[in-house]
């Protein structure tokens, strides 16, 4: 008689020197079962051993290999320490021990609880064992769920993996600390999105710079991670950026319980409604400050409005009136979306009343993009004939000049305020005169300081655009033969568009596209 020995340990293994070693409990099971088989005079076919697997896990690799070999009748007996080592599910007891094993000619024996399918008299005891084990599974599941719920409610991190940007605190179980190297990437993602970059564009920037995605980063640093099934798992994807931008863990809030198990019998989970999530504020140090978080969430909500991104919102803050320079606003009429100058009703003399449908503007931009691709892609002198980011450099120089002028004026005003104050101290002017005279100085200084701050912010945005713009050939190659534009493409390619008034007697509207290259 050939015997197959099956061993299993369900609790987390703590006494193995190496991950590939067997635990002490498994070794003890093997020694007991091999000794029993020798006493019976059976020939040992193989030992099947699953370490760190529960009795309700149907995906145990050695368990399934055992069943496959049993069906092929490579042995005559399955020997276990207890019936629960084989399975704790009553359903599997009936399916295999009482169902398929007899059909396959396989005898099942467990030593400690004296289960033996060759003994017709103990079938009821085997069924009772199965029922008790089933109850045990359910009670254990309830107890574990209760403990985990309590820890979630108290803000302890109970996940197997720390979120990208954080790592588990070695000195405090359930606490997260910032991983500065990864956190710098998280901050960049939030900052770039707040500056108008789309999620796909941000992912492409990170990939172009060779920055590993969260899974690859953890693998390279020896951290625990979940192995994705998809190929090219080292690359950043749209959804990784999207999930990051809305995850409250980055502002110091612990958010858990987004998914719940269907049953204690399966590892499958299902999404839980947001009202049932466990959210505890201020459990760990934030990576993203609240102001940036609020700004990003507002932008996420704006981009998630229930309308087609190819129409309304596509050219938001990008289209300007050719007459007055004001940013054009979107409007809707009879189901179609339009852009019109927001200044035409209050400054008719200064505004020409620029007006264009978003569909028409999109088509004009696509036509120009395709024209550029056909004109430049096959010319080797492209880089020599086209000055890279010319208009951006001109804008940058202009802003720098303005900032210098404003800063000089601020210094003069501050000096004037100090001199007025000294005149007041010396008694040359009274308090009333000082207040009245310095009021205009202070107001003007504050206004200029705001202009300086705005200018520096514009400088940062321009520098980012110049950094990612690339040369004209590469950008045009990437975006040729498009049927529709997306907000990400508009953000990357276009600085702004100047829209004129329809030419009388035609349906043509003149436009000027100011590219980011």
Q: Give per-residue pLDDT as tens, 11-20.
A: 544 444 444 4
Global pTM reads 0.40
What is the DSSP track for 15-45?
Answer: S-SSTTSPPHHHHHHHHHHHHHHHHHTPEEE
Q: Which two tokens stand for residue 240?
A: 């990784």
Q: With contact defined as beta carbons under 8 Å apart, do 164 and 220 qualify?
A: no
- What is the reported pLDDT for 370? 80
Please determine, for residue 287, whether its predicted confidence score (pLDDT) is greater than 90. yes
Closest CA to 277 of 297, 253, 293: 253
- What is the reported pLDDT for 157? 79
The answer to whether domain 2-151 and domain 166-301 are alike in fold is no
Query: How far apart, in whole angstroms, are the C-alpha atoms of residue 141 and residue 370?
Result: 61
- What is the reported pLDDT for 470? 47
Give the H or E element holding residue 283. Answer: none
- What is the reported pLDDT for 244? 92
Query: How far apart, in whole angstroms, are the C-alpha atoms of residue 403 and residue 364?
Result: 35
Range with the largest mean pLDDT of 26-30, 138-142, 166-170: 166-170
Q: With contact defined as beta carbons under 8 Å apart, do 250 and 293 qualify?
A: yes
- What is the reported pLDDT for 245? 93
Mean pLDDT score across all residues of the chain: 78
- Assign 392 a pLDDT band (cuts: 50, 70, 90): low
E-assigned strand segments in 464-515: 494-499, 511-515
Q: Which two tokens stand for residue 159?
A: 């996940």
So where are the chain's domains? 2-151, 166-301, 307-388+470-517, 392-452
Please determine, for residue 121, whether its predicted confidence score (pLDDT) is greater than 70. no
- Assign 231 a pLDDT band (cuts: 50, 70, 90): very low
Please determine, for residue 187, whether its predicted confidence score (pLDDT) is greater than 90. yes
Cα→Cα distances 332→54, 121, 302, 338, 354, Å: 60, 81, 17, 6, 15
3-state secondary structure at position 240: helix
Where is pLDDT greater, at 210 or 478?
210
Q: With contact defined as beta carbons under 8 Å apart, do 9 and 23 qualify?
A: yes
Domain 166-301: give its CATH code. 3.90.1750
Please determine, for residue 338, whether its predicted confidence score (pLDDT) is greater than 90. no
Q: Give per-residue pLDDT as tens, 79-111.
A: 998 888 888 787 888 889 888 999 999 999 988
Q: Give per-residue pLDDT as tens, 352-368.
A: 778 888 889 989 988 88
Q: Architecture of 2-151 per CATH?
A: 3-Layer(aba) Sandwich (3.40)
- What is the reported pLDDT for 184? 94
- What is the reported pLDDT for 262? 56
Query: How far apart, in whole angstroms, are the C-alpha atoms of residue 473 and residue 345?
Result: 42
Query: How far apart, in whole angstroms, are the C-alpha atoms of residue 305 and residue 315?
Result: 15
CB neighbours (10 Å) of residue 482? 15
Residue entry with tokens 């590939």:
20
- What is the reported pLDDT for 229? 43
- Assign 237 a pLDDT band (cuts: 50, 70, 90): confident
Query: How far apart, in whole angstroms, are the C-alpha atoms of residue 439 and residue 447?
Result: 12
Size of the chain in residues: 517
- What is the reported pLDDT for 71? 93
Closest CA to 328 of 364, 293, 310, 354: 354
- What is the reported pLDDT for 159? 74
Query: Quick one: angle between helices 199-208 and 238-245, nearest 10?
Result: 120
Say what the alpha-carbon torsion angle 173, 174, 179, 184 is, to the nearest 10 degrees.
Answer: -170
- What is the reported pLDDT for 46? 93
Cα→Cα distances 321→54, 86, 94, 357, Å: 68, 76, 77, 14
- What is the reported pLDDT for 347? 41
- What is the reported pLDDT for 20? 43
Q: Which two tokens stand for residue 512?
A: 């000027």
């Amino acid at each position: 008689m050939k015997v197959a020995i099956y061993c299993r340990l369900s609790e987390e293994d703590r006494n193995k020197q190496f991950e590939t070693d067997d635990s002490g409990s498994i070794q003890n099971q093997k020694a007991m079962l091999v000794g029993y088989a020798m006493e019976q005079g059976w020939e040992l076919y193989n030992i099947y051993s699953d370490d760190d697997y529960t009795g309700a896990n149907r995906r145990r690799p050695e368990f399934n290999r055992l069943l496959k070999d049993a069906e092929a009748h490579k042995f005559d007996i399955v020997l276990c320490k207890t019936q629960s080592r084989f399975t704790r599910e009553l359903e599997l007891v009936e399916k295999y021990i009482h169902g398929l094993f007899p059909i396959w000619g396989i005898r099942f024996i467990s030593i400690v609880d004296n289960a033996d399918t060759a003994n017709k008299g103990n079938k009821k005891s085997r069924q009772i064992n199965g029922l008790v084990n089933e109850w045990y599974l359910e009670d254990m599941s309830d107890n574990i769920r209760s403990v985990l719920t309590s820890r979630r409610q108290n803000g302890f991190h109970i996940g197997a993996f720390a979120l990208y940007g954080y790592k588990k605190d070695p000195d405090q179980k359930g606490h997260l600390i910032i991983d500065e190297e990864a956190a710098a990437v998280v901050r960049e993602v939030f900052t770039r999105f707040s500056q108008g970059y789309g999620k796909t564009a941000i992912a492409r920037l990170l990939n172009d710079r060779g920055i590993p995605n969260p899974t690859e980063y953890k693998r390279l640093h020896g951290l625990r991670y979940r192995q994705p099934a998809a190929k090219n798992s080292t690359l950043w994807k749209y959804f990784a950026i999207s999930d990051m931008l809305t995850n409250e863990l980055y502002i110091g809030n612990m958010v858990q319980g987004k998914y719940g198990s269907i049953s204690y019998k399966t590892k499958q989970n299902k999404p839980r409604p947001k009202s049932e999530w466990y959210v505890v504020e201020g459990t760990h140090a934030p990576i993203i400050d609240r102001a940036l978080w609020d700004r990003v969430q507002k932008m996420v909500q704006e981009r998630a409005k229930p309308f087609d991104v190819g129409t309304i919102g596509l050219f938001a803050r990008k289209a300007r009136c050719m007459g007055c320079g004001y940013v054009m606003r979107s409007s809707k009429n009879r189901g179609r979306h339009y852009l019109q100058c927001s200044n035409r009703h209050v400054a008719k003399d200064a505004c020409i009343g620029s007006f264009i449908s978003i569909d028409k503007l999109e088509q004009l931009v696509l036509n120009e993009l395709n024209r550029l691709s056909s004109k430049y892609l096959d010319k080797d002198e492209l880089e020599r004939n086209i000055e890279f980011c010319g208009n951006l450099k001109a804008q940058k120089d202009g802003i720098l000049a303005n900032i210098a002028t404003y800063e000089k004026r601020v210094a003069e005003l501050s000096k004037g305020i100090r001199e007025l104050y000294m005149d007041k101290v010396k008694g040359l002017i009274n308090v009333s005169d000082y207040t009245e005279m310095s009021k205009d100085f202070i107001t003007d200084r504050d206004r200029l300081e705001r202009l300086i701050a705005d200018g520096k912010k514009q400088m940062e945005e321009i520098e980012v655009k110049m950094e990612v713009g690339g040369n004209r050939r590469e950008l045009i190659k990437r975006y040729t033969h498009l049927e529709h534009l997306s907000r990400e493409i508009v953000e990357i390619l276009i600085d702004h568009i100047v829209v004129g008034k329809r030419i009388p007697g035609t349906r043509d509207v003149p436009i000027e596209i100011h590219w980011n290259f």
